[in-house]
Every structure is written in C-alpha cells, then in structure tokens.
Amino acid sequence: MKNIAVLGSTGSIGVQTLEIAREYANEIKITALVAHSNIELLEQQIREFMPRLVCVYDESRAKLLRDNIKDLPVRVMTGMDGIIACATAEYADMVVAAVVGMIGILPTIEAIKAGKNIALANKETLVTAGHIIMPLVKEKNVDLLPVDSEHSAIFQALNGENNKSIYKILLTASGGPFRGMKKSYLESVTAEDALKHPNWRMGPKITVDSATMINKALEVMEAAWLFNLSIDQIQVLVHHQSIIHSMVEYVDGSIIAQLGLPDMRLPIQYALFYPERRYMKLGERADFIRIKELTFEEPDMDTFYGLRLGIEAGKLGGSMPTVFNAANEWAVARFLEGKIGFMDIPRLIEEAMRSHKIIQNPSPDEILNTEKQTYDFIEEIVKS
C-alpha cells in the first residue's frame, strides 16, 4: 500500500491525483488532504478517501468544515502549520505537492526533511528554491518525481542515462491561446480569452501563465534544477499539438522523446507508481492516424517577452527567479480580477526585475522576504 498526502487536493492536479487513487484504491491510501477554502469538494473527498488529517488554509472555512464532518474521525488543521503537518505526518510515504504558488515552498522543504518522496507539480518551488531543494533531496535520499508533463517527459526520456550525455533539452510548448498574435492585439484581451487553452484543462493561474508563455520560462528554470543543466542547454520549441511532451538530445545527436495525448493523469500516475508503469485505466490513447501531423515553430519572444525575461532571471539566478515569479503571481491575480491588462503582466515583471538587487543563495526567509518586497514594489508602481 502506498500512503500519499495530497497538497492542493481540490485543484486540477489534486482532483486528477484522486482519480488515479480511486482507480487503484487497493494500492493507494490517502493519508492527508490540503485545500485553501473549497470545503464543499474537500468534504466529498474526505468522505470518499477517509484521510486521518486535513488542512484548510483559511481558518473560518476550516471551522465550518469541522462542523460539517463532526461524524468522522478526521482532524482538521489550518494555516501553514496545518499544511506542514499534512506534508510531514509519519504515516505518509509520498507527498503530492500540488498547491499553486509560492505557498508550496515550505511544506515541500519540510516534507523532504521528513524523508518523504515528492511528486512535484508546484513549479514555483524549484524556480525559487531549487538551490535548497536539490541538495536536500540528495542528503535525505528521497525521490523527487516531476509531475509537470514536460519534466516527466524528460525524466522518462532520460531513463537512467548519465546527465553528462545530454547535449540539450527540447522543451515543448503549445503556444497557448494567443499563438501567432501580436502585441497590439494582446493589449486588450481579457481573462476570459486567456482562460481558453487549446489543449490542456488546468487551474486559472497556470492557464494564464501558458497564455503569456511565462509558464514555459518557469519550466526552463525547473528543468535546469531537476536535471542539473545550464539554462542555455534548454531550447523552447512551440509544438502546437502537445503530443510530444519534450525531448532529450544526446551528445551523439540521438533524440529521445516522450509522446502521448495531453492528459495530466499520465505524468501523475507515472510519478505515483515510479519506477513501475501501470495500465492507464482512464482517458483515450494517442492515435497517429487521427493526429496526422506534428509541427514545430520558434517561440515569439518579442511578443511573449515574459518568456525572455524568465530565461534572463534563470541565468541571473539567486533571488531573481523569486522576483520574476512573485511579480508574475501578483500580476496574474490582478489580471484575473480584471484590474490590469494582459501585457501589463510582463511589463510589471520587467520593472520589478530591473529594480532588484540580487541576493545569492537566498534562505527560505530571504525568498519569502523577496516575495513580499516584490509585491510591495509593484503595488506602489501600480498606485502611482
């Protein structure tokens, strides 16, 4: 039996993780669930999977949930202490880190310290704290298994090969809903337009990140940490059909790719059962006669210049990726509320990056301080 804690169980990745747990109920036991405030869905999940511990980050929502599940022997905690308790409880072997945003950093660090294997969806963790996470994973000898589809593809294409044999990574991108559009058009697009992703159904934040292509910048940084590569070894390639999830080009020119339909349950299931492969009971399978063609384009880094800024932040390193990520989190939240425009997202990130003095090897506290300072800085410039 695998004992698994799911952080972010009410989100897109969390729900799909539980679909797999349902299909493999005789092999997967859910020990803990974490959400922010969606207690209606969380209650359904609790009644189905009967974890010992849950956390609702929002205190008032947690109180309501406690009342609603009085009949069950389940402990309800709140806040960061509650998330960390769920991530470190002794009865879990693996933690699925699928909360959205920088709130995911500390629980992941604590879970690794507690010796848990990690199935990592939350990309903000490696982007901002890769220099802390990667040595810790080594020290604690735990598995860090990527859930993000591109990183799972690279991990599968590597399959034990020495990373010195890697010439480069071809990191594929769908291009999002605005592929081929120009800046003047993008100035006036709305959150509703940005949320219409052509290939993937995901949470709102990452869907907007796909539309700006900032998601790909975060993934470049994530891949550099996971596979111990320089940013220059990672080439972003627009592949509109999202069938090739990424490729590894080896020093001898050989290229190995991982392919499949765009369905996150595949990389999630791969991480949950690694190193075994299991029959996929859910969804369709790829049919190349129907797919017909796979196409490739260079990304338009002039229009989608958030991608260029992210690559620059990754090369600068230290606390700069945190500034890039925090500025993006702030801007995406305001864009989703209709308070700023789509092209304000890269504009604000650029201003925040230009005003930041880099801290090398930031500690978790310095990362969180940098996040706060970035929020304060942007709030000031948006006000003025």
> Which residues of the chain form contacts with Mg ion (CB under 5 A)?
148-150
Question: Which of ligand NDP, Mg ion, none does 13 bind, CB closer than 5 to 8 A by kind?
Answer: ligand NDP
Task: List the one residue from 19, 22, 37, 113 that touches ligand NDP (CB under 6 A).
Answer: 37
Q: Which of 240, 254, 288, 284 is nearest to 266 (CA)?
A: 284
Provide, rounded to whole angstroms, the least separation between the CB of residue 109 and ligand NDP: 15
* x/- letters, 136..165, toward ligand NDP (CB under 6 A): ------------x-----------------
Provide, rounded to whole angstroms, the least separation between the CB of residue 18 and ligand NDP: 11
Question: Which of Mg ion, ligand NDP, none does 206 bind, CB closer than 5 to 8 A by kind?
Answer: ligand NDP
Provide, rounded to whole angstroms, the least separation between the CB of residue 269 and ligand NDP: 14
Question: Which of Mg ion, ligand NDP, none does 119 bind, CB closer than 5 to 8 A by kind?
Answer: none
Is 264 a binding residue for ligand NDP by CB under 6 A? The answer is yes
Is 123 a binding residue for ligand NDP by CB under 6 A? The answer is yes
Question: Which of Mg ion, ligand NDP, none does 100 bind, CB closer than 5 to 8 A by kind?
Answer: ligand NDP
Residues 51-70 that bind ligand NDP (CB under 6 A): 57
Task: List the one residue from 103, 214, 348, 353 that touches ligand NDP (CB under 6 A).
Answer: 103
Is 110 a binding residue for ligand NDP by CB under 6 A? The answer is no
Provide, rounded to whole angstroms, the least separation between the CB of residue 40 and ligand NDP: 9
Q: How far apart are CA 345 and CA 306, in angstroms?
A: 8
DSSP β-bridge partners for residue 94: 4, 117
- Please answer whether residues 4 and 27 qualify as being in contact, where contact means their C-beta atoms are separated by less than 8 angstroms: no
Which residue, 82 or 362, is less far from ligand NDP as judged by CB? 82
Residues in the chain: 384
Which amino acid does the sequence have at 124?
Answer: E
Is 265 a binding residue for ligand NDP by CB under 6 A? The answer is no
Task: List the one residue from 4, 35, 76, 243 that touches ligand NDP (CB under 6 A).
Answer: 35
Question: Which of Mg ion, ligand NDP, none does 11 bind, CB closer than 5 to 8 A by kind?
Answer: ligand NDP
Size of the site for ligand NDP (CB under 6 A): 29
Which residue, 10 or 322, is less far from ligand NDP as judged by CB? 10
Which residue, 203 or 341, is less far from ligand NDP as judged by CB? 203
Is 269 a binding residue for ligand NDP by CB under 6 A? The answer is no
Binding piece for ligand NDP, criterion CB under 6 A, among 158-166, 198-206, 311-319, 333-341 = 198-206
Which residue, 14 or 314, is less far from ligand NDP as judged by CB? 14
Question: What would the 3-class secondary structure string for the chain be?
Answer: CEEEEEECCCCHHHHHHHHHHHHCCCCEEEEEEEECCCHHHHHHHHHHHCCCEEEECCHHHHHHHHHHCCCCCCEEEEHHHHHHHHHHCCCCCEEEECCCCHHHHHHHHHHHHCCCEEEECCHHHHHHHHHHHHHHHHHHCCCEEECCHHHHHHHHHHCCCCHHHEEEEEEEECCCCCCCCCHHHHCCCCHHHHCCCCCCCCCHHHHHHHHHCHHHHHHHHHHHHHCCCCHHHEEEEECCCCCEEEEEEECCCCEEEEECCCCCHHHHHHHHHCCCCCCCCCCCCCCHHHHCCCCCECCCCCCCHHHHHHHHHHHHCCCHHHHHHHHHHHHHHHHHCCCCCCCHHHHHHHHHHHCCCCCCCCCHHHHHHHHHHHHHHHHHHHHC
Q: Which residues bind ligand NDP (CB under 6 A)?
A: 8-14, 34-38, 57, 83, 98-100, 103, 121-124, 148, 200, 202-203, 205-206, 264
